Amino acid sequence: MTDLEKIKYTKSFVDKLAKGVNPNNNSKIPESDVIYDEHISGCMRYVSSILQKIIDNDGSIGYVSKPKKELFNITEKQLANFAFSDIPLNIKELTNNINSLIDLDKIKRVSQSKLLEWLVELGMLKIVESISGQRIKTVTNEGKFIGIITEQRKNAYGSREVILYTREAQEFVIENINDLVEFVRENTEKAEKQYDFWTDTDDKKLRDMYSSGSSVAEMAKVLQRTNRGVRARLKKLGLIETRSDAK
């Protein structure tokens, strides 16, 4: 018996004891037994959880570093297996269908937010302010042209507009997936740079662009920062009062 097998065997004993079962013959342990004390049974469950972590680490004790995953990317061979749906998909379903094609143990998944940001950059969606003051996404004429539609759906709070992707829209995404891969890479680099110190040169450029009326997206692109990072710096420099002031 290997060490890992011994650990699994030990865990099976601990689990049974925690449930009040004699691991030797699977009979119920009398309720008068000390094993039923909540502190003891709680310790048994804790020990079981530790043993499970060791089992998940293939018998290694402590933290086991995992290989760093590659940024989202996908091959033509994998794309050939994409299951197009004649029933319009919401963004979660579309994203899940894409991620189901890649090896998630080695490749980072593409998030719903990144897919939406990409579609906004392409002009298929746009961000507007709702009556309640929330920033929401709506479909542009370009988006409607490629098959992005909206539908009113009811929930516990009333009805809301849901953006859906027809088969034509799904085909557009898959045909342009390489552009999405590049978009994810560029945004990841920006996100990593947002933790870099802002230099005096960066601040001067930011002030100049803000004064000339540049948008947050334009400033972020030039300075290689995220939109959130630009808004935070504008606020710190006293150019805006709240992050929502910058568009």
Place of tokens 């794309």: 79
The model's confidence at residue 246, banded by pLDDT at 50, 70 and 90, is low
83-100 pLDDT, tens digit each: 999 999 999 999 999 999
**Phi, psi (degrees; rounded to nearest 5) at 115:** -65, -40
22-51 pLDDT, tens digit each: 989 989 998 888 888 888 888 888 998 888
7-21 pLDDT, tens digit each: 999 999 889 888 888
173-231 pLDDT, tens digit each: 999 999 999 989 888 876 666 667 888 898 999 999 999 999 888 888 888 887 878 88
Residue 195: the pLDDT is 63
Q: What 3-state class would DSSP assign to 164?
A: strand
Residue 53: the pLDDT is 85
Closest CA to 146 of 121, 172, 120: 172
Residue 145: the pLDDT is 96
Tokens found for residue 83? 């299951």
Residue 102: the pLDDT is 95
Mean pLDDT, the chain, rounded, equals: 87
Model confidence at 243: pLDDT above 60: no
Q: Which residues of 209-241 are buried (b: 16+ CB within 10 A; e: fewer)?
A: bbeeebebeebbbebebbbebbbbbbbeeeeee
Q: How far apart, in whole angstroms, are the C-alpha atoms of residue 100 and residue 109?
A: 9
| DSSP for residue 28 | B
Amino acid identity, residue 226?
T
